[in-house]
Amino acid sequence: MNKAEDSEGSAGYYRRMQSAVEELLVLRGILTPEGIEEQVAAMDSRTYKSGAKVVARAWVDAAYKARLLDDPRTAVAELGFSVGPMHLIVIENTPTVHNVVVCTLCSCYPRMLLGVPPHWYKSREYRSRVVREPRAVLAEFGCELPTGIDIRVHDSTADMRYMVLPLRPAGTAGLGEAALAELVTRDCLVGVGLAACPTSSG
């Protein structure tokens, strides 16, 4: 699967929809063009680094991890992040279970913590194939898992979004939160990748 591929011109479709909604909001006096630009800039500034910080805290603090899995909204707020009105569910990878996230209907995604979804996440190919053949799709992302690991696919909705809590890489016992957060990638927060192993300093 080509991660960079924008299946069937979906980017053009979403741009047209965005323009139509913006025009309607301005015509009805709900928003101003300047207000829209400010909101778009704010959304574009969000990245997966927020989610990475949440994961790093969970890796070093067992009590925080328990709170994150039980009540994600409150737990992420402890670190200064808001998920808005959406219902966030954090799903934990284990040595025997690997989780992967999709939105089969469109592109629902925890933008508050992960930023703008990548093009491949919105593509029809990913949305259909990862449900039918998740192991094959993950392998195409370079995430090849042993056959004994159970792969579970979670379907996001407009009201419910998922974020994966990846396994902490081996050899990271001596790292602090900031260094651990650097090992967390966007792909592993969606489940199509694994947290990076630390590189040797030589």
> Where residue 185 sits, what CATH number does that domain have?
3.90.330.10
| Per-residue pLDDT, 35 | 72
Residues 118, 3: contact at Cβ < 8 Å? yes
- 91 with 111, same domain? yes
Enter the tokens of residue 48: 């997966």
134 and 78 in a common domain: yes
pLDDT in the model for residue 8: 46
Considering the domain architecture, whether residues 178 and 88 belong to the same structural domain is answered as yes
Residue 53 lies in a domain: yes
Predicted pLDDT at 46: 73
If asked whether residues 141 and 88 sit together in one domain, one would say yes
Sort 138 into a burial class: Cβ within 10 Å, 0-12 / 13-18 / 19+.
Answer: buried
Q: Are residues 136 and 81 in the same domain?
A: yes
**Domain boundaries, position 58:** 49-190
Are residues 35 and 8 part of one domain? Answer: yes
Active site residues: 103, 106-108
Tell me: do 133 and 151 sit in the same domain: yes
- Regarding whether 70 and 32 lie in a shared domain, the answer is no
Which parts of the chain have pLDDT scores under 50?
4-8, 200-202
Predicted pLDDT of residue 200:
47
Residue 107 shares a structural domain with residue 81? yes
Domain count, the chain: 2
Q: pLDDT value at position 111?
A: 92
Question: CA–CA separation, 182 vs 63, rounded Å?
Answer: 22
Query: What distances in angstroms separate CA 17 from CA 54, 135, 146, one per listed residue?
Result: 32, 33, 41
Are 68 and 41 in the same domain? no
Separation between Cα atoms, residue 70 and residue 94, nearest integer Å: 16
| Residues 46 and 111: beta-carbon distance below 8 Å | yes
Report yes or no on 16 lying in a domain: yes
| Measured distance CA(133)–CA(86) in Å, rounded | 28
- 117 and 180 housed in the same domain: yes
Residue 89 has what DSSP assignment? Answer: E
Whether pTM exceeds 0.95:
no
Q: Which helix (H) or strand (E) holds 22?
A: helix 10-27
| Residue 41 pLDDT | 59
> Do 18 and 80 fall into the same domain?
no
